[in-house]
Chain A
Amino acid sequence: MKLQGKRVTLHDMSLRDGMHPKRHQITLDQMIAVATGLDGARVPLVEVTHGDGLGGSSINYGFPAHTDEEYLRAVVPKLGFTKVSALLLPGIGTVDHLRMAADCGVATIRVATHCTEADVSQQHIGLAKKLGLDTVGFLMMAHMIPPEQILVQAKLMESYGANCIYITDSAGWMLPDDVTARVALFRAELAPSTEIGFHGHHNLSMGVANSLAAVEAGATRIDGSVAGLGAGAGNTPLEVFAAVLDRMGAVTGVDLYKIMDVAEDIVVPLMDHPIRIDRDALILGYAGVYSSFLLFAKRWGEKYGVASRDILVELGRRKTIGGQEDMIEDVALDIAKQQRTR
C-alpha cells in the first residue's frame, strides 16, 4: 500500500462518540483538558456534543452532565489551532440546535442519517451550507446496503450542499474490502471537490486497517478517537492511526508524541471501564449492530436477567438501526417473557 505524501485530515471523536462509554457524563473540565491537549497536538478537528448529537439529551439516550451549548461554549474559546465540529441527527436534533451550535462557533456541522434515508437531511445540510459552515453528510450503518445504493444517498447529500460525505461503519462490521468498494465508488462518482470521509469502530479490531483502506481508495478525512474512547469497542484509536500514517509517509500534521500523551495521561484516566473488544463488543461487529447499543444491552440484560449477547443478536435480527435504543429494553422484556414461559 502506497500512501507516501497523501494528506489526511484527522478528526477526533473522543468528546462525542466517547460520550457513549462515559454515559454522557464527561465534565466541562475534562472536555477542556482533552480538547486543549488535542489542540496542542495539532489535531485539526474535534467533535463535541452529546453522543447522539445535538439535542440527544433524553431518557432514551441518556441525560448528559451538561447541555450541548454548555460544552460548546466551554471548549470552543479555549482552542487555537483546532476547530470544533457538531453532529446532528435529523429526527433527534433540529435546525434550532444547528443555529445554536453555529452561534457557539463550531466550524463544521455533520448531518447524520441512516444510510438509506439521506432525504431527511435536506433542511439541515442546506442551512449549514447557507451559514457558511464546513458541511458534512454522514451516512450511518453504511454496511447495510451495497456500494451502488449508498452512492445514490451520497449524491442526494451532495446535491443539498454537503462538501464532504462520510461512510460510517457504525457497527464496526466492515472489512477493508467493504471500505475500499464504497470509498472507491464515491471517489469515482462524486464531484472531485467533494471530500470523502470514513468513520470506523474497532469491534472487529479493523479500525486502523479499514481507515488505511479508506485513505488508499481516496478518503481524505478519517475519524478516530484518542485512546479509542468511543461506542462499542471504541473508534479507530487516533494516536495509533497517526503513528501508522507517519510510518507510511502520509501527512497529518499531528504531533505524534503529544497525541500519545493526551491518550495516556488525560483520556485513559477518565475512562469508566477499559475500552476493549469484550464479547458484547465483538458481537456488535460480528452481527452488525449499532455500537452505542452496547452499554444499554448490558444494563437491561442485568435488570431483566437476560444475556446481553442474546439481546444484541435479536436487535440485529430485527434490523434495528441507530437511534432505536428504546428497542433494547423492549427486546430484553420480550426475551425475559420467553424465558419465563419456557
Chain B
Amino acid sequence: MKIRAAIIGSGNIGTDLVIKARRSETIDPVWLVGIDPASDGLRRARELGLKTTHEGVDGLLPHVEKDGIRIAFDATSAHAHAETSRKLTRKGVLVIDLTPAALGPYCIPPVNLKDHVGKREMDVNMVSCGGQATIPMVAAVSRVQPVEYAEIVATVASKSIGPGTRQNIDEFTRTTAAAVASIGGAKKGKAIIIVNPAEPPLMMRDTIHCLTEGEPKVEAITRSVHEMIEEVQKYVPGYTLKNGPVFDGRRVTTFVEVQGLGDYLPKYAGNLDIMTAAALRTAEMFAQEIAQGTFVLAPKLD
C-alpha cells in the first residue's frame, strides 16, 4: 500500500516533485497546493489527475483526514514554512521541508538518512540544493579524517531558480553552511552560491573544498569520494565527478556536476533534481516505517 502525500508549493520544486513522486513505489502524490490559480504547476498536476487548490495550505487542511494524507512536502519558502508545518503536524502529517527554514533536523540521504530511523520526527529539513550536492563530498572526506573547515561553492543556472530561492538567498547560505558543518562533519562550514545566466544554461556545478587536520590521506580520501559519488548516483544518476579530488597541502577539493533528469525543468537544473530526489528518498524511507507500523504518526500538540 502506498503512503498518500501532499505537495505544498506549485513552483519549480513542487511540480518536479509531483512528476518524480508519481514514479515512486511507496509514495502516492494526491494533492498539489499552490497560491496562484494561473500556476503552470497546478495545471500540470490537474492534467496528471492530482487534486489541487490555489488557497495555500488552508485549502488542503479540510481534506487531510478524508484523503488519508500522511506525508507532506513543503516546497514553499523559508518564511512560510513554520506556519505550514504547524498546521500539518497538528493533524499528524509528517512534513518533509524543502525550504531552507531548517526548523527540523537536517537530512542528507547518503550521509544520515539511517540516523532518522526510529526517531519519530514530524518535520525533517532537506537543507538546500547546494547542501544536497556538496555535503556528501564533505562527509566523504570527514569519514576518513577530521576536517577543520569545509567550504562549498554552488553555481546554478539563473533559469533554474525561482523567486523563492532568490528572496531567501541568505537563508540558503546560512542553512547550507550550518549543515556542511553538522552533517558534513566539518568543524566549521561556509557556503557560497553563484547564479549564472549563461545561455544555453549551464549544468549545476559544485566545488567542495575541505581543509583536513594534518596531511590528507590521499588514497583513502580518493576511494571514499568515488564511493560516495556512487551512493548519490543511486538517486541522482547525473551526479558526476568532473575533477579531483585535488590535494594541495591540507586542501582537498572535488569538482562535481549535477545533471537533472529533465522531468519538469530541463537537464541543466540538476539543483532542482537533487533536492526533489533526496526529499523523495527520505519520504520513501519514512513511508516504509509507516507501512511497517514502526512509525505511528500522531498529531503533534503545540
Contacts and interface: CB of A to CB of B under 8 A. Distances in A.
A60 B158 contact: no
A117 interface: yes
B220 interface: no
Contacts of B193: 91
B169 A58 contact: no
Interface in B213-266: 242-244, 246, 248, 251, 253, 255
**By DSSP majority rule, is chain B's interface helix, strand, loop, or mixed?**
strand
B197 A116 contact: yes
Contact of B173 (A94, A116, A117): A94
Best-surrounded residue of A59, A95, A321, A329 (most CB of chain B within 10 A): A59
Contact of B195 (A58, A60, A114, A330): A114
B158 A116 contact: yes
Contact of B163 (A119, A323, A327, A330): A119
Given A117-B197, A330-B243, A59 B211 contact: yes
Nearest to A91: B193
A329 B196 contact: no
B253 A329 contact: yes
Contact of B246 (A92, A320, A333, A334): A333
B244 to A, nearest CB: 8
Given A117-B158, A120-B169, A319 B151 contact: no
A117 B195 contact: yes
Contacts of B205: 326-327, 330
Contact of B209 (A60, A303, A323, A324): A60
B277 interface: no
A319 B198 contact: yes
A159 interface: no
B58 interface: no
Interface of A: 58-60, 90-92, 94-96, 114, 116-117, 119-120, 122-124, 303, 318-321, 323-324, 326-327, 329-330, 333-334
Interface string B169-208: 1100110000000000000001011111110001001010
B228 to A, nearest CB: 19
B22 interface: no
A116 B159 CA distance: 11
A91 B169 contact: yes
A120 B195 CA distance: 9
A90 to B, nearest CB: 5
A326 B196 contact: no
Closest 9 CB pairs of A and B: A326-B207, A319-B198, A94-B170, A116-B197, A59-B209, A91-B193, A333-B243, A323-B194, A326-B153
Given A117-B158, A117-B195, A90 B170 contact: yes
B173 A326 contact: no
B167 interface: yes
Contact of B170 (A60, A123, A329, A333): A123
